Amino acid sequence: MAVPGVKEPAAVPEAANEVKKEEVKKEGFYIDLTPKLIQLPDVKDRRQINIRYPLLAPYAFAHVYWDDEAKEVLYTVEEPILNDAEKEILGLILIGLEEMINISFVKAVNTELLIDYLEKNVQNIMIELGIKITQETYDKLMYYVYRDSVGLNEIEPMLHDYYIEDIECNGHSFPIYIVHRKYENLRTNITFADPQKLVDFVEKLSQKAGKYVSYARPILDGTLPDGSRVNATYTEDITTRGPTFTIRKFTAEPWTPIHLIKFNTVTPEILAFLWMVIQFKFNIMVIGETASGKTTFLNAIANFIPPEARIVSIEDTRELNLAHINWLPAVTRTGFGIPNVLGKQFGEISLFDLLRETFRQNPDYVILGETRGKETYVLFQGMASGHPSLCTFHAGSVEMMVRRLETPPINLSPTLVESLDVICVVTNIKEMDKSKRRLKQVSETIEVSTTLGRVSSNTLFEWEAASDKFNRRGKSVVFEKLSKRTGIPVDTLEKDLAIRTKLLATLAAQDITNFKDVSAILNAFYQDRENLLKKFKVI
């Protein structure tokens, strides 16, 4: 499709069904903010990558291609090109909008209402200034008005790219990098050349996140309206290249356990085991290195929690997304003013504060987004006193996890660490042409030695890197504990495991991945198990 003002790249294969003219035809300005998921082809040789797909059709497109001169794959955001006269008109319009725009409309959820409001104001400004332009120019100007007044300026198109996981700015005059789900780290053509413009942009990020950033408090940590997590710095005192920001994007719908099977992150049998672990209220910790997929994995297996259970989740910034109705999500809050002698500001609510109060709210399950400080002691005390908990933790192995838990600033005793029943180790394997996230192993805690970092554990499942397959190693310690607790024979538990494995494998084979559909099926398992299993021919 020809885009006004944008030169078509030569011989670029279309990545998917392009937006047809009749699909976007509408009176007045129109922009497609909900593009369909586009299937990108697998390319073994990175030098053959040359793909173009829409971000904000019909104005903004992504062009991912191999650059012979740079010897790398580049990510280019293609937008309508404005000539000098159009740039001048756009500047006048944006100045006029600063005086006219109503902030309540900027926060409106209804996109059509918002665009209509912007159009009326833009048209009034052009009438007052006596500006007459073509429809093509008008559409281009409206795109930039929407992008810069409501959206997040230059990076707004990238926020609509399903395949982008992270958007990273390392300072002014340096190109922005992205982490692409398909093609890994890519350099973009977006740069904040003007230092003041980058400062203004970080301020805009803080406003969008509902946070405060200044020279006195130059670090921003918050959540954007679309759920993306943002971290930014404000001054050169903190980052010598100037203000920086990193935006971690999340999919509109969280991944389900079936997604994990489809991506070969884990097998149906392992998920079936974790399903039983969660249902019978054992404690789980998901560990791994940065960007290994800990939170995504935790969110997926949290779908196995029974539908009527009361869940309380605690996070620094909101990332978890559950289908459960009886769910109380809580987030921390930064304080105000000068810190006291304990280093705490007035009004500050920490993970420790929230977790301490959580156990007074009678939760059936506690989910802690990430534990790393003194709140860990409260979490493990809760585990020891019978409150089933799920959480994530930064560690590359079970031994490293135990060592970190037993040393400052956490300082747990070995007996408390033993309250943890199952440890899931996730990893992100990066190769030349792609990356893959895998559940490296599932271990069950047997005994934690008084010797620092020494733990006796049973590795029940393990991923074999050479064959990219998962293997089961022996019998389950958790099943033995469960058998003693409930009187259910281990053989019966193994049969139940096989039934759940078959159900999950059937859902994956039928490509049932929709978040609501999967949640409904899991709920039906608890409410009408026999009929559900008959429906999917499991029994």
CATH topology of domain 257-535: Rossmann fold (3.40.50)
Q: What is the dihedral of CA 313, 314, 319, 322, to 10 degrees?
A: 10
Cis peptide before 58 (omega within 30 of 0): yes
Q: Which amino acid would we find at residue 318?
A: R
**206: pLDDT strictly greater than 90:** yes
pLDDT, position 24: 35
What's residue 458's pLDDT? Answer: 97
Whole-number Å distance between alpha carbons of 259 and 316: 26
Q: What percent of the chain has pLDDT over 70?
A: 91
pLDDT of 107: 53
Average pLDDT of the chain, as a whole number: 89
Task: Say which residue the tokens 């196995």 belong to.
Answer: 304
Q: CA separation (Å) from 279 to 74, 485, 504? A: 46, 14, 16
Is residue 537 pLDDT above 50, yes or no?
yes
Confidence of residue 22 (pLDDT cuts 50, 70, 90): very low
Q: What is the pLDDT of residues 209-223, one digit of tens each?
A: 988 899 888 999 888
Residue 7 pLDDT > 50: no
CA atoms of 536 and 516, how far apart (whole Å): 17
pLDDT score of 463:
97
> Given pLDDT bands bounded at 50, 70 and 90, which one contains residue 36?
low
- The reported pLDDT for the residue numbered 6 is 36
pLDDT at 5: 37
Residue 381: which H helix or E strand, with range? helix 375-384
Report how far residue 108's alpha carbon sits from residue 98's, in angstroms, rounded to the nearest whole number. Answer: 17
What is the model's pLDDT at position 225?
86
Give the model confidence (pLDDT) of 258-302 as tens digits.
999 999 999 999 999 999 999 999 999 999 998 899 999 999 999
> For the residues 511-525, what does the mean pLDDT come to?
95
Q: What is the mean pLDDT of residues 518-538?
A: 96
User: How many CA atoms, within 13 angstroms, populate the side-chain half-sphere of residue 372?
Assistant: 9
pLDDT, tens digit, 9 for 90 and up, residues 107-119: 555 677 888 888 9
Note the pLDDT of residue 112. Answer: 77
The span from the CA of 135 to the CA of 29, in Å, is 9
**Which strand (E) or helix (H) includes residue 269?**
helix 268-279
Distance of CA 440 to the CA centre of its chain: 20
pTM of structure? 0.81
The predicted structure's pLDDT at residue 10: 39
Task: Report the share of the chain in percent with pLDDT over 90.
Answer: 71
Pairing of strands 469-472, 455-464: antiparallel
Q: Which fold has domain 21-80+155-248?
A: Beta-Lactamase (3.30.450)
| Inter-helix orientation angle 135-149/111-129, to 10° | 120
User: Does residue 4 have a pLDDT over 90?
Assistant: no
Is the pLDDT assigned to residue 412 strictly greater than 90? yes
Q: What is the mean pLDDT of residues 74-78?
A: 98
Residue 51, pLDDT score: 95
Q: Which two tokens stand for residue 239?
A: 């980052």
Going by C-alpha positions, the residue among 334, 354, 332 that lies closest to residue 344 is 334
Q: Are 171 and 202 in contact (CB under 8 A)?
A: no
Q: Compare 429 and 75 and report the one with higher pLDDT.
A: 75
- pLDDT per residue as tens digits for the range 370-390: 998 989 999 999 999 999 999
CB 55 within 8 A of CB 157: yes
Arithmetic mean of pLDDT, 424-428: 96
DSSP 8-class letter at 183: T
Nearest to 188 by CA among 64, 82, 79, 68: 64
DSSP state letter for 349: B
pLDDT digit string (tens) for 123-139? 999 999 999 999 999 99
Both tokens assigned to 47: 């030098």
d(CA 400, CA 287): 10
Q: Which range among 72-76, 153-157, 313-317, 333-337 shows the weakest confidence by mean pLDDT? A: 333-337
Lowest mean pLDDT among 80-84, 313-317, 391-395, 498-502: 313-317
Partnered with residue 365 across adjacent β-strands are 311
State the pLDDT at residue 231: 94
